[in-house]
């Protein structure tokens, strides 16, 4: 198989996984929120009378978005108004290229990397693209020529600046422990154990860094309790002048960010595709026993482990979104500048001292 065809297949498979899972995250959120509020949730869409717990609802929603009227306010900048949701969508979707889905496999005597792009500075690549997504938010608020949407986009920019600093600083300690910016190397460094039984994951080596990172990256998704740019009860939101497919792209991008955040947390702090005590020959238990597995079973277990971790953090983010109330804006900014950034600096100093010793 030619290298071009191999890359094309990996792109198609990764994007299909990403888009389908994102689509059904909308169903998962509606069902999880309904369970927490003692409701049934979305279950009306059916095919030949079959509902399957509402699993057809995301497909019905997508069809509805495609055929709804595309309305652009007469006072808006038509080109930028149309461009904004596609920018937000693109800068989030392209991050899937750097996600390591599993270990390197041997296929027909050649190594098969379960990753579209194994970039030397993959971590910086992902952080940079996530940051560029703010341009879609800014353009949507400004191009709509509405003071309330503009206020929402300015809030989004201020929130990004506040939490991007803490987000980047929280990863400095991780880089000191795992000296690489390549995501596949960071996952490989998390193999093995600590103290003979504890997985050598980033969350155990960088607990404070993980807490700061998770809060900061959760704020990047602009969801409750950090949804100030979309505060419907206060300022309507930066995409108030959107409808149809373009509004659906903004909503879809929000769920894509949930998935990318889950992939990042799993990769950086929870071992990625690493399974506790599972090596290249099988399971080596802390008390000394060995359980040999065939190569295909080890590869399948590692790929499945990554999926389970991603699903868990998607569920956790939805749970947080439907549990906590929205923060007041001044407290939101204080949390970023006065708490998270000092904690991340403290984490850097402590990690540097421990590494040097």
Residue 1 lies in a domain: no
| 297, 190: one domain | yes
| 43, 102: one domain | no
| 181, 309: one domain | yes
Name, in order, each residue with C-beta under 8 angstroms of 294's C-beta and a sequence gap of 6 or more: none
Between these two residues, 232 and 163, which has the higher pLDDT value? 163
Residue 13 lies in a domain: no
Span 140-176, pLDDT tens digits: 999 999 988 999 999 999 999 899 999 999 999 999 9
| 241, 349: one domain | yes
| 298, 235: one domain | yes
Residue 14 lies in a domain: no
The pLDDT-based confidence of 111 (bands split at 50, 70, 90) is confident
| 308, 183: one domain | yes
Q: What is the mean pLDDT of residues 209-218?
A: 96
Residue 237 lies in a domain: yes
pLDDT at residue 235 in the model:
67
pLDDT at residue 2 in the model:
81
Confidence (pTM): 0.94
> Of 35, 61, 87, which residue sits at a domain end?
61
| 153, 226: one domain | yes
| 216, 274: one domain | yes
Whether 236 shows a pLDDT value over 80: the answer reads no
Whether 319 shows a pLDDT value over 90: the answer reads yes
What is the rounded distance in angstroms from the CA atom of residue 312 to the CA atom of residue 236? 31
The pLDDT-based confidence of 4 (bands split at 50, 70, 90) is confident
Mean pLDDT of all residues belonging to the chain? 92
Residue 3 lies in a domain: no
| 98, 51: one domain | no
Residue 11 lies in a domain: no
| 25, 118: one domain | no
Buried b (16+ CB within 10 A) or exposed e, 193-226: eeeeeebbbbbbbbebbbbbbbbbbbbbbbbbbb
> Where in the sequence is the domain holding 53, given as residue range(s)?
19-61
Whether 230 shows a pLDDT value over 90: the answer reads no
| 48, 193: one domain | no
Whether 50 shows a pLDDT value over 90: the answer reads no
| 285, 344: one domain | yes
Please tell me the total count of domains within the chain.
2
Residue 7 lies in a domain: no
Sign of CA dihedral 295, 301, 303, 305: negative
Q: How far is CA 98 from CA 26, 124, 148, 309, in A?
A: 24, 10, 36, 17
The pLDDT-based confidence of 108 (bands split at 50, 70, 90) is low
Whether 232 shows a pLDDT value over 80: the answer reads no
Q: What is the mean pLDDT of residues 26-43?
A: 93
Whether 107 shows a pLDDT value over 90: the answer reads no
Q: What is the mean pLDDT of residues 212-226?
A: 92
């Amino acid at each position: 198989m030619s290298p071009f065809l191999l890359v094309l297949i990996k792109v198609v498979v990764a994007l299909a996984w990403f888009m389908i899972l994102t689509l059904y995250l909308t169903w998962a959120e509606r069902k999880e929120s309904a369970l927490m509020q003692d409701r049934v949730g979305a279950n009306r869409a059916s095919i030949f009378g079959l509902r399957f717990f509402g699993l057809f609802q995301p497909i019905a929603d997508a069809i509805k978005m495609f055929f709804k009227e595309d309305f652009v306010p007469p006072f808006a900048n038509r080109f930028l108004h149309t461009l904004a949701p596609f920018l937000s969508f693109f800068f989030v979707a392209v991050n899937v290229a750097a996600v390591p889905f599993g270990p390197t496999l041997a296929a027909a005597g050649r190594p098969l990397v379960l990753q579209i792009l194994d970039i030397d500075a993959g971590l910086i690549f992902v952080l940079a693209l996530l940051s560029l997504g703010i341009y879609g938010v800014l353009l949507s608020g400004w191009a709509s020529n509405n003071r309330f949407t503009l206020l929402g986009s300015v809030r989004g920019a201020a929130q990004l600046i506040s939490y991007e600093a803490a987000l980047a600083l929280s990863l400095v300690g991780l880089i000191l422990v795992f000296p690489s910016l390549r995501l596949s190397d960071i996952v490989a460094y998390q193999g093995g154990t600590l103290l003979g039984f504890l997985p050598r994951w980033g969350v155990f080596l960088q607990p404070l860094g993980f807490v700061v990172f998770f809060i900061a990256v959760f704020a990047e998704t602009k969801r409750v309790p950090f949804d100030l740019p979309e505060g419907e009860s206060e300022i309507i939101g930066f995409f108030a002048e959107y409808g149809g497919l373009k509004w659906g792209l903004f909503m879809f991008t929000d769920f894509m960010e949930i998935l990318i955040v889950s992939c990042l947390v799993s990769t950086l702090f929870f071992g990625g595709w690493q399974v506790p005590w599972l090596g290249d020959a099988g399971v080596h238990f802390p008390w000394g026993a060995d359980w040999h597995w065939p190569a295909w079973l080890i590869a399948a277990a590692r790929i499945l482990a990554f999926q389970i971790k991603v699903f868990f953090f998607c569920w956790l983010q939805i749970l947080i979104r439907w549990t906590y109330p929205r923060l007041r804006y001044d407290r939101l900014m204080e949390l970023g500048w006065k708490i998270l950034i000092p904690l991340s600096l403290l984490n850097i100093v402590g990690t540097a001292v421990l590494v040097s010793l």
